[in-house]
Amino acid sequence: MTQESIQPVLDWISAHPMWSGFVVFLISLSESLAIVGLVVPGVVLMTAIGGMMGSGVLPFWLTLFWAILGAIAGDGISYWLGYHYHEHLRDFWPFRQFPKLLARGETFFRHHGGKSIVFGRFVGPVRPMIPVIAGMMDMPPKRFLFFNILSAFAWAPLYSLPGILIGASLGNLSSEVASRAGLLVLLLLLVFWLFYETLLLIGAWIAATVHTLVNFIWQILNRIAWLSRILKTAQGTEVNQFGIALLFLLSTMAFVFTTYDVLNSEGIASWNESVYQVFRALYSDKLIALIGLLTGFGDPEVLLPSAAVIGLWLLWRKRYRTATVWILTIAVGFIAGFFTKNETMVPRPEGLKYVFDHFAYPSAHVLSSTLVFGLAAAFIQHSLSAKHRWIPWFIVIPIIILISLSRIYLGMHWFTDVMGSLTLGAAFVALGTFVFRRVVSRHVPIRAILLPGLITIAVMFGIYRAHSYPLLQQELVRQWPIQTLEEKSWWTGHGPSNGLYRTGAFKRQATVFDVQWLGSLENIQHILEHAGWKVAPKLNFKTSVMLLASNPSPILFPVLPKFHRDRLPVITVTKALNQQDRLVLQLWQSDYLTQNNLSLWVGTLRLEEAAHPLPLVTLYLEHPYIGDILKQLTLGLKAEGNVQMHTFTAKNANNHKVLLLKSN
């Protein structure tokens, strides 16, 4: 879809508010219509409509009127179908395809009565079925109409409110930008909705396939007497025990392969550098402090004492077998991780100051959280009914993932450190669960794990917050040592800074620095502004709306952020060449100082051209410059009498030309 093909749609929306209102009516009607509402992404579409209302693309009150009218009509048609056909409706397509949904809607209606018409508009899958049920059960038309109108007046504003807030927060935009913003919100929400629905379908397919495959294999293997005896549980032989055994084998194999890749620096170990640089590019001082606190929930000093207290509590409750499995699984799993760490001796990533120089592989934090939280979920699920056994995993898996990501984000561990910890921990959780099901016949009361566990975690985390967290904050200070620069050697192109590279988001040597400038930052910025360079606006929520303009100003368009050693540039300036092209100069701190305490600033100079890589979106992207791009910088600076300049070719940077500048 090209820019030219979308613009007529935007113009049509702005020029025909009445017709666009009719479209809103159809969307609202279909979202409320029986069966049809199950496949229409009502939340997505109403949020997008709200965005257009808030930004002024669509008239607020008229659009809201059409949305309410469509909701009333959709529920009204659904009610008429049920009122006219009654029980015969169950035999019609497509209603006969959803007997369970009709049953759920009937239960919901019987429980809430007339209020179900109001509540039903906001309750998931039963939403478009409630009016049909009301008609089938002979709810009086006048009574239904009252609740129908009441719920529609509440539904339309609430469903469009998020979009209205988004649109209003964009401020007073031009009609072109406002139209593009509304349509972009619609497209993005549709993409997210399709992505979400696709993930659900894929997840359901994978779960069904795995379940079928495990059952198929089990039907073959359960005929083997010795295997059947091994898989026998305290409640009898179960196919689930075979699935747990498979999980143990797969996790163990994954750990072995990960360890092999780590020791040989191949396979997934080759991803370490890229993942590390991506997370470093996302550094934020405030976020580091928050994630530093979050990672404490996986600290072995917090979780291992909590696991010990749970074990002692189980012993006190005379759950000897359960306590033995609990203690041995966590203890042996953690010892295996400790042994692996000291045998592999993998160094940690650089760039942070560490109080303790421990090895990296595997991560003790991730391993501890996987063992303790994972085994707790495995024990607790056996106390729940079959349909509720997903709940403990739904809680602990995000916690384990967050702790895992925190270790990478803080620069404490490599990607493979986390993967090794997760696979090793999963193997021991599976092994502990296998043994538990084999030797323990009684379910473990949930409170026997939650009560002592949560109390101890709260106490130990409080101690961590008071004593260990301040030390961790000192560790998280990014330490880049200041180095002395020999000015004479540097000026001749033989200094230690010769051929410096920018550390990018995916690799250490992302870009060769074109510019090296010696002087005070204030003086450099003054010289650039006097030479015609303009300070580029920072990319934030307010300036990001420029991305929706079809022909934005080159000097008013924000420059996309780039990092060097976890830091944003100290100076970002632009110079327009024409309406489509601009030069961008960015300077970063280099951590070099001369003996006279002059700082060296390093930077990149590039040509950017306006492009439309996505529908509705404009970006300035780097474009090859034909000729000597450094001349574009030197031409404006030659008039400045207080700037010395010299160009040399960096041999150790593929003969890249570097401009040396010194301001008095």
Amino acid at 468: S
In the chain, the percentage of residues whose pLDDT exceeds 90 is 13
Percentages helix, strand, coil for the chain, rounded to the nearest 5?
Answer: 65, 10, 25
| pLDDT at site 354 | 45
Look at residue 565 and tell me whether its pLDDT is greater than 80.
Answer: no
Amino acid at 408: I
Burial degree of 255 (CB within 10 A; 0-12, 13-18, 19+): buried
* Across 323-327, 351-355, 508-512, 621-625, least confident range: 351-355
How far is Cα 533 from Cα 583, in angstroms, rounded to an integer? 9
- Residue 439 and residue 528 in one domain: no
R_g of the chain, CA atoms, integer Å: 32
| pLDDT at site 141 | 81
- Average pLDDT over the chain reads 77
Look at residue 324 and tell me whether its pLDDT is greater than 50.
Answer: yes
563 secondary structure, DSSP code: -
Look at residue 331 and tell me whether its pLDDT is greater than 70.
Answer: yes
Q: Would 338 be classed as within a structural domain?
A: yes
pTM over the 0.75 mark: no
Q: Which domain holds residue 575?
A: 483-663
pLDDT, average across residues 121-148 = 73
Please list, in sequence order, all residues whose beta carbon lies within 8 angstroms of the beta carbon of residue 97, skipping any fewer than 6 positions away: none
For the ranges 1-5, 407-411, 501-505, the maximum mean pLDDT occurs at 407-411
pLDDT, average across residues 216-234 = 70
Of 488 and 234, the structure prediction assigns the larger pLDDT to: 488
| pLDDT at site 605 | 87
| pLDDT at site 477 | 58
Q: Would 500 be classed as within a structural domain?
A: yes
Please list, in sequence order, all residues whose beta carbon lies within 8 angstroms of the beta carbon of residue 374, skipping any fewer than 6 positions away: 396, 400, 425, 426, 429
Q: Do the beta carbons of residue 336 and residue 429 sit within 8 Å?
A: no
pLDDT, average across residues 202-206 = 78
pLDDT, average across residues 336-357 = 74
pLDDT, average across residues 535-560 = 78
For the domain that residue 307 is a member of, what is the CATH number? 1.20.144
Q: What is the pLDDT of residues 136-153, one digit of tens each?
A: 777 788 877 887 788 788
| pLDDT at site 80 | 81
Please list, in sequence order, all residues whose beta carbon lies within 8 angstroms of the beta carbon of residue 68, skipping any fewer than 6 positions away: 28, 152, 153, 155, 156
Q: Would 223 be classed as within a structural domain?
A: no
| pLDDT at site 370 | 95
- Residue 491 and residue 392 in one domain: no
Q: Would 216 be classed as within a structural domain?
A: no
| pLDDT at site 17 | 57
Q: Do the beta carbons of residue 440 and residue 321 sit within 8 Å?
A: yes
How far is Cα 157 from Cα 164, in angstroms, rounded to an integer? 9
Total domain count for the chain? 3
Look at residue 5 and tell me whether its pLDDT is greater than 50.
Answer: no
| pLDDT at site 257 | 94
SS (H, E, C) 125-138: HHHHHHHHHHHHCC
User: Among 475, 502, 536, where does a domain finish?
Assistant: 475
* Across 92-106, 260-274, 449-463, least confident range: 92-106
Of 164 and 11, the structure prediction assigns the larger pLDDT to: 164
| pLDDT at site 2 | 40
Look at residue 373 and tell me whether its pLDDT is greater than 80.
Answer: yes
pLDDT band, residue 427 (cuts 50/70/90):
very high
* Across 100-114, 283-297, 320-334, least confident range: 100-114
pLDDT band, residue 337 (cuts 50/70/90):
very high
Q: Which of 317, 422, 409 is nearest to 373 (CA)?
A: 422
Kindly report the number of other CB atoms within 10 A of residue 583's CB atom: 20
pLDDT band, residue 250 (cuts 50/70/90):
very high
Give the Cα-Cα-Cα angle 143, 144, 149 (nearest 5 degrees).
105
- Residue 305 and residue 275 in one domain: yes
| pLDDT at site 6 | 44
- Residue 61 and residue 134 in one domain: yes
- Residue 12 and residue 60 in one domain: yes
Look at residue 375 and tell me whether its pLDDT is greater than 90.
Answer: yes
- Residue 541 and residue 455 in one domain: no
pLDDT, average across residues 505-515 = 70
pLDDT band, residue 288 (cuts 50/70/90):
confident
| pLDDT at site 606 | 87
Give the Cα-Cα-Cα angle 550, 553, 554 (nearest 5 degrees).
110
| pLDDT at site 174 | 52
- Residue 122 and residue 56 in one domain: yes
How far is Cα 28 from Cα 69, in angstroms, rounded to an integer? 8
Q: Would 221 be classed as within a structural domain?
A: no
| pLDDT at site 24 | 77
How far is Cα 368 from Cα 425, in angstroms, rounded to an integer? 8
How far is Cα 292 from Cα 290, in angstroms, rounded to an integer? 5
* Across 48-52, 285-289, 351-355, 585-589, least confident range: 351-355
User: Among 475, 497, 514, where does a domain finish?
Assistant: 475
Helices marked H in 265-319: 272-281, 285-294, 300-316
Q: Quote the distance between the C-alpha of residue 567 and its chain's center.
A: 22
How far is Cα 370 from Cα 319, in angstroms, rounded to an integer? 23
| pLDDT at site 276 | 81
Please list, in sequence order, all residues whose beta carbon lies within 8 angstroms of the beta carbon of residue 411, skipping any fewer than 6 positions away: 276, 279, 280, 349, 351, 352
* Across 237-241, 518-522, 537-541, least confident range: 237-241
Q: Do the beta carbons of residue 346 and residue 262 sit within 8 Å?
A: yes
Q: Would 143 be classed as within a structural domain?
A: yes
How far is Cα 233 from Cα 225, in angstroms, rounded to an integer? 14
pLDDT, average across residues 219-248 = 72
Q: Quote the distance between the C-alpha of residue 647 and its chain's center.
A: 44
Give me the residues paired with residue 483 across strands.
592
- At 582 the three-state DSSP class reads strand
- Residue 460 and residue 490 in one domain: no
Of 64 and 3, the structure prediction assigns the larger pLDDT to: 64
Token digits for 464? 């961590």
| pLDDT at site 59 | 72
Burial degree of 577 (CB within 10 A; 0-12, 13-18, 19+): middle
Look at residue 1 and tell me whether its pLDDT is greater than 60.
Answer: no
- Residue 457 and residue 556 in one domain: no
For the ranges 158-172, 324-338, 608-622, the maximum mean pLDDT occurs at 324-338
Token digits for 355? 């109080």
Look at residue 10 and tell me whether its pLDDT is greater than 50.
Answer: no
How far is Cα 413 from Cα 258, in angstroms, rounded to an integer? 15
Q: Do the beta carbons of residue 547 and residue 559 sit within 8 Å?
A: no
Q: Would 640 be classed as within a structural domain?
A: yes
- Residue 335 and residue 452 in one domain: yes
Q: Check residue 56 and give left, alpha or beta (phi > 0: left; psi -120 to 50: alpha).
A: left
SS (H, E, C) 490-520: HHCCCCCCCCCEECCCCCCCCEECCEEEECC
For the ranges 279-288, 357-366, 395-404, 488-497, the maximum mean pLDDT occurs at 395-404
User: Among 475, 496, 524, where does a domain finish?
Assistant: 475
- Residue 629 and residue 597 in one domain: yes
| pLDDT at site 501 | 74
Q: Do the beta carbons of residue 283 and residue 566 sit within 8 Å?
A: yes
Token digits for 639? 């008039």
Token digits for 207? 């779960």
N residues, the chain = 664
pLDDT, average across residues 32-52 = 64
Q: Which of 603, 595, 643 is nearest to 485 (CA)?
A: 595
- Residue 487 and residue 558 in one domain: yes
Q: Would 226 be classed as within a structural domain?
A: no
Phi, psi of 59 (to 5 degrees): -65, 130
| pLDDT at site 339 | 92
Token digits for 149? 């109108």
How far is Cα 66 from Cα 354, in angstroms, rounded to an integer? 62
Look at residue 360 and tell me whether its pLDDT is greater than 90.
Answer: no
